[in-house]
A and B are shown apart, each in its own frame.
Chain A
């Protein structure tokens, strides 16, 4: 269990209200919400107030410890004769803590303010080493920028500065240079407010003060990379990017993180075909401005030295490089021989365009419905558990909606690992909006942040007893009559039987009173359920989803059952119809083809002459690894599209070098059905092809119509898939579009 429990933050004492007030900033009159920070009001009229410590997303955003945002303030005062005059506050005020009020007049460029800022900067620079030439932050550093525009030209400080070791390895990914720190407290507040690790704090005081961890232990966080971007100086730096480039030498391309299904908006910074760092892009609907460490540091595969750069053909058990012409000839020859008896697996990590052409090649050119993107244990009809009942696949809620829930039920998910950005939303709902969280997991890890740290009730059950736990929760809800009379509880009532908390306690190992407490929270709506891998990989997946469905119906939370996918385009691959039983847009296919498992079984028994695997690590990750291995051994011709020579690729007969997320255009669809654009940044090698191009070339050689670009494919998708109607590269913009099911479809 967690050793500490951060408290919820009460709403700010002076929240901006709906009432508007008029303030005057540098002579410009503007109407702003009553109580808004003047620093934000100034942004509205384009007046620049410099700051370091203020950050709108951190509570105590009003830290006011850098003192950089000083402004002169005048307030109207009534005279005895009824007239009004402006009275100046005797000292300059920090704009980041100054709530806007009616008639307030702000001066940001008065003689006193200009002089004070110079003084503040001179103080901040006293202990700053000014080693900008070797600082990664040089060129994009708020301290540099503010010094240029507001600072004194020289320093009067001639004494010895503070000295610390230069690159203290704070965490796996972050190095810390204490000499450069200006004590703004952004990183410590991030650790408290956002990620919840609370491992960073100010130690000592006065001139000795420094940021540190407890007893010099490592800073362990799944979100540690964010402090690098938050740091307004070069004190917190990336270990992977350190000394790799100067910021002005980098090219930047907008993209989407490829490491999980949440669809974080990121920027790829690259130079000379090397992806050097990944920074967050603001998208209020998805990641706000955060990234997880997996996304921020987990894209090293893009520029890895062992990337495949040419097609490889296996001859006598050894891979030999061959030309694309030869590779395509081989594929076409094998496909011609096999006819429609070919199988395709994968696509969860490819773009929508790749997937659309993938299934089109199989269905329309080869005439095979044996195509499946799913690698999980549940491979039944895709519409069965959720769509037939509630009319959606995957997530019913938008990620941003989760923060408005009163209760969040995280069931069978190690959320911080499986869905890091959803985890941050859940935590935000708890910390800033007062939601309560019920957490049901099989085990709780020590050390880093997790839902268990802030959950109101933790139900730690024995693996395999999910159903008993769920039914006991329902039992309490029904038998204690926690729901209003008109709630539709009949479906649930049929199921619960005699699963009393006491009986479930014996079965699951959860204390009966915890089950009762959890049940009392679940009826406190709006409530949303987040389901994780323990459920999606459960042998009784469908039955569990049925009960969860009954639960959301009974508690009046239809549409709040969420089963987010796992990979960056799990959702898109399904939308594009890379499924045996439905085509693009979930149109039923008759007869359905074989699913992944049956394809592997057929291949293992030598009945599938050609198997095409697209970016799927079957041998590594498939739940029946032995079957996957036998399938690859016994299938006469296995084609694998991969970035690197994975274990699965090693067992193939032909390996095709595929383009990574940074090397192609296209769209991903995140777990909340948000279609977002990825942009091509660079080419690593001319012989690496995006998957769609491989498929379209094969299709053309077999007599199909070729596509010319991802834009071309997306145009076809928009015309074919009803949910994607109207979507184009242009209409997606930077924030993407979350598609809705056409009305009446459910």
Chain B
């Protein structure tokens, strides 16, 4: 994956980005609750970044990284190191729906690349790109652990299964109609997992009912 944020390009150090405080009162309470689970505040870095990803509109700006570092007492560089390590943290704006098409073995056999090509054609973008209207971002991802229902497309916190080149345009239409901003919804779902009262954990088993209803978690 070609990244340009810190890669080749600018040659001079940049001035420090302006600071912001965008965590809502509710977000601060969530963060404090999560931090209280650990002996050190630093340990809450990953959930704190999810909170930031939600509060900053689906991706982590430099200001978001600074706010997380300030709230946890970490250095900016360390938090940026974490945020750039994990691919699920977005460092650039994504579309309102991030289409992540599994192209791993089973899905590939079941026509995942036909889905990808159909999406590229219909949306007028290439893999990795975002539509001009900011509605869709298209990515290829590795195995989503849902091979029995190939081809799988993950959008935010939802899995769509049995997708084919023929029915994928319906999925696009369905997403266009929805009013959700799925990267934010995904971040929120993950934050909720860290809070008490959530009966689910990330890797929990799913019932056949849930699978049929296309429910993640």
Write the residues of chain A forming the contact surface with B, with a CB cutoff of 8 angstroms: 3-7, 163-165, 168-170, 198-205, 208, 210, 212-219
| Bound CA–CA A210/B77 (angstroms) | 12
| Bound CA–CA A349/B21 (angstroms) | 49
Contact A204 B3 (CB under 8 A): yes
Residue in B7, B17, B65, B75 with the greatest tally of chain A CB atoms within 10 Å? B75
| Bound CA–CA A380/B80 (angstroms) | 54
Contacts of A215 in B (CB 8 A): 14, 16-17, 62, 65, 76, 80
Q: Which of B51-59, B66-74, B127-135 contacts A (4 or more CB under 8 A)?
A: B66-74
The A/B interface has a contact count, at CB < 8 Å, of: 84
Contact A214 B80 (CB under 8 A): yes
Give the Cβ gap from A168 to chain B, nearest Cβ, in Å: 7
Give the Cβ gap from B209 to chain A, nearest Cβ, in Å: 37
Given contacts A199-B76, A208-B3, A215-B80, 14 further A-B contacts (CB under 8 A): A3-B75, A3-B76, A4-B74, A169-B11, A169-B12, A200-B77, A203-B85, A204-B85, A212-B77, A213-B77, A214-B62, A214-B80, A216-B13, A217-B17
Contact B13 A213 (CB under 8 A): yes
Give the Cβ gap from B21 to chain A, nearest Cβ, in Å: 13
B10 interfacial contact with A, CB 8 Å: yes
Contact A4 B76 (CB under 8 A): yes
Contacts of B124 in A (CB 8 A): none
Residue in A203, A210, A217 with the greatest tally of chain B CB atoms within 10 Å? A203
Contacts of A204 in B (CB 8 A): 3, 6, 84-85
B196 interfacial contact with A, CB 8 Å: no
B15 interfacial contact with A, CB 8 Å: yes
| Bound CA–CA A215/B13 (angstroms) | 9
| Bound CA–CA A119/B85 (angstroms) | 26
Contacts of A164 in B (CB 8 A): 7-8
Name 26 A/B residue pairs within 8 A (Cβ), A-sorted: A3-B76, A4-B69, A4-B76, A6-B75, A7-B40, A7-B42, A163-B8, A164-B7, A169-B11, A170-B13, A199-B75, A199-B76, A200-B77, A201-B78, A203-B81, A204-B6, A205-B84, A210-B6, A213-B77, A214-B65, A214-B75, A215-B76, A215-B80, A217-B15, A218-B13, A219-B13
- For chain B, the bracket of interface size reads 20 to 34
Contact B8 A165 (CB under 8 A): yes
User: B10 touches which one: A6, A199, A214, A216 (CB < 8 A)?
Assistant: A216
Contacts of B14 in A (CB 8 A): 215-217
| Bound CA–CA A215/B19 (angstroms) | 12
| Bound CA–CA A202/B83 (angstroms) | 11
User: A212 touches which one: B6, B65, B66, B79 (CB < 8 A)?
Assistant: B6
Contact B73 A4 (CB under 8 A): yes
User: A205 touches which one: B13, B73, B75, B85 (CB < 8 A)?
Assistant: B85
User: B78 touches which one: A198, A216, A219 (CB < 8 A)?
Assistant: A198
| Bound CA–CA A5/B76 (angstroms) | 11
| Bound CA–CA A7/B78 (angstroms) | 13
| Bound CA–CA A198/B77 (angstroms) | 7
Contact B77 A5 (CB under 8 A): no
Give the Cβ gap from A291 to chain B, nearest Cβ, in Å: 23
Contact B69 A203 (CB under 8 A): no
Contacts of A202 in B (CB 8 A): 81, 85
Give the Cβ gap from B40 to chain A, nearest Cβ, in Å: 7
